Structure formats: C-alpha cells, structure tokens
C-alpha cells in the first residue's frame, strides 16, 4: 500500500489511533495517521540524525556539551535517543513515552537498541514529572520535550505547572529543550509565556529552516553565560565532531533572538 508518497511498511492501531511507517527512497518516516512526520531516518545510515528538527534540538550542545543525565518526554522513532547513546558514553537516559505501540515500532523499524543506560517508562510525561518533582530535584542536565500526537502538541506538556515541575527536576545549570510547532500561533505564544515565567525569560528560539518547527531552549538560573566568540568557535568544532550544522544554528540564534540573546550570551 502507498501513502504519503511512499510505501507503507507498517500499520497498526492502538487506543490513541493509527501508527504508520512509510518508506520513500532512502528515507523512513513515522506517521500518526496524518502526513506530518513524527520522526524520520535515513535507511542507509540509521544512526545518523536525519530529521531537521531533531538536528536543531541538538543545537543545545553549543551551550551544554555533556548531557550525562537526560529526561526525554516523547520517544517517537527514538532517533535522538540513539544519537545520545552513541555519542555520549556517560549519558543516562530516562524516557517517558505515552504509547507502548510507539516504543514497539521504534524497536522494530527504527533500530532503537536495548541499552542499560536507557530506561523507558510507558505513561504520561506530565504525570511523571509531577510525581518525581514532589520528592526529588536537580536530577537532569537536559530535559527534552517532543510530545505530539496526530492533532499536535499534547496539552498536558504545555502548561505552566508542567514547566514548573520540569524546572524543579532540572539542575540549576541545566537546560530544557522543546520542539514547538510554530504554525499553531496561539498555542505557541501560550507555551512560550509559560516557559518564560518559569525560567525567568532565560530562553532562546531556533526556527527550523524550511519547516514549521521552532525549537525552544530554556536555561537554569545558574547556567554559565558564554561569550559570543566562544560559541562561534565551538560551533565550528562541534560541526566537525558531529557533522551537524552548528554554525548555521548560531546564525539563526542571532537572527531570531535580537533582544533575548543578551540574557543568555555575553557579546
């Protein structure tokens, strides 16, 4: 069967709806019953970060290059999880994914490995951070949020309470990274307001070129403020190390954060 201009290699249903995996030439994509791609992978290079928004989320390495303790809300195809496990030997991943069917497909069709450094919980990400934040704090260097269904971003992971709980679980020098959908302007504005209030407006945004995604970065109150010169030098180094477009990310940070950037970066 052909759909979304490609060959459907997997189709299943759960209580949340349809899950489809579609191959087109050398690309494999995960869909939740619509043409929007939830994850994508290059079939001939399955460990490479292929999706543009996933690559942009890793722009966080410019600011925090040792993600040793990471909480991920939303798994998708698991491409970011694979990248972190492969590139960072000390990285410990805690992943909360709402749908067990998504985990099964990430294993069967996107090569998500079994790794003792990665713990996966099936459940609600908002409920997880609420419960964990009641008894613990400062657990994570990075918190990464990529929680979407066929209709858009889940409301449970966009509230001020959710970000407040994330803030509790984040180390004071840590960083929150979130995949936002810029075309839903009302929701985008509300989420930005919620994050800004919780994080004291220590935040930057990175629009993904050619896509509707906008990646948000929020920083803990003790986050060390880097210089622009140091970041530009680091971008070149990271590009060589990971084959990701870090100099372009820096250009877009400067272009799209004209006022906020001074709260995060020293000139």
Dihedral, CA of residue 88, residue 173, residue 54 and residue 159, to nearest 10: 140
Q: Give CA–CA dist 184/187, Å, rounded.
A: 6
From residue 258, give the alpha-carbon distance in Å to each of 125, 127, 237, 252, 255. 32, 35, 24, 10, 6
The CATH code for residues 47-264 is: 3.40.50.150
Residue keyed to tokens 């909360």? 96
Q: Give pLDDT tens digits for 37-62.
A: 999 999 999 999 999 999 999 999 99
What does the domain layout of the chain look like in residue ranges? 47-264
Q: 3-state DSSP call for residue 215?
A: strand
In our burial notation (b when 16+ CB lie closer than 10 A, e otherwise), range 8-23 reads eeeeeeeeeeebbbbb
Instruction: Provide the whole-model pTM.
Output: 0.95
pLDDT attached to residue 44: 96
Q: Give pLDDT tens digits for 156-200.
A: 888 999 999 999 999 999 999 999 987 778 888 999 999 999 999
pLDDT attached to residue 191: 93
* Torsion angles phi and psi, residue 23, rounded to 5: -100, 135
pLDDT-flagged residues of the chain (< 50): none
pLDDT attached to residue 36: 87
Q: Give CA–CA dist 248/3, Å, rounded.
A: 33
**Angle at the Cα of 54 (from 48 to 36), degrees rounded to 5?**
110
Q: Give CA–CA dist 93/166, Å, rounded.
A: 15
Give the Cβ contact number of residue 97 at 10 Å: 22
In our burial notation (b when 16+ CB lie closer than 10 A, e otherwise), range 132-171 reads bbeeeeebbbbbbbbbbbeeebbebbbeeebbbbbbbbbb
Q: Give CA–CA dist 211/29, Å, rounded.
A: 15
Instruction: Indicate the pairing of strand 69-73 with strand 92-97.
Output: parallel
pLDDT attached to residue 151: 63
pLDDT attached to residue 150: 58
């Amino acid at each position: 069967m052909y759909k979304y201009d490609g060959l459907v290699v997997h189709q299943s249903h759960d209580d949340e709806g349809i899950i489809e995996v579609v191959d087109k030439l050398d690309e494999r994509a995960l869909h939740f019953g619509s043409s929007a791609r939830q994850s994508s992978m290059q079939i001939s290079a399955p460990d490479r970060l292929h999706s543009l928004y996933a690559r942009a989320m890793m722009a966080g390495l410019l600011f925090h290059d040792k993600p040793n303790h990471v909480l991920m809300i939303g798994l998708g195809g698991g491409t970011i999880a694979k990248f972190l496990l492969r590139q960072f030997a000390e990285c410990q991943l805690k992943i909360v994914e709402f749908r067990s069917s998504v985990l099964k497909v990430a294993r069967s069709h996107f090569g998500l490995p079994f790794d003792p450094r990665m713990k996966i919980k099936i459940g609600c990400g908002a409920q997880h951070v609420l419960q964990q934040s009641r008894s613990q704090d400062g657990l994570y260097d990075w918190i990464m949020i990529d929680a979407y269904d066929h209709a858009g971003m889940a409301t449970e992971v966009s509230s001020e309470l959710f970000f407040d709980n994330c803030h509790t679980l984040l180390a004071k020098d840590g960083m929150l990274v979130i995949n936002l959908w810029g075309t839903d302007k009302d929701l985008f504005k509300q989420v930005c307001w919620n994050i800004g209030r919780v994080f004291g407006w220590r935040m930057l945004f990175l629009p993904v070129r050619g896509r509707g995604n906008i990646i948000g970065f929020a920083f803990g109150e003790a986050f060390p403020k880097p210089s622009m010169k140091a970041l530009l030098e680091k971008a070149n180094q990271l590009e060589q190390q990971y084959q990701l477009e870090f100099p372009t990310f820096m250009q877009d940070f400067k272009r799209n954060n004209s006022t906020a950037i001074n709260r995060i970066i020293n000139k």
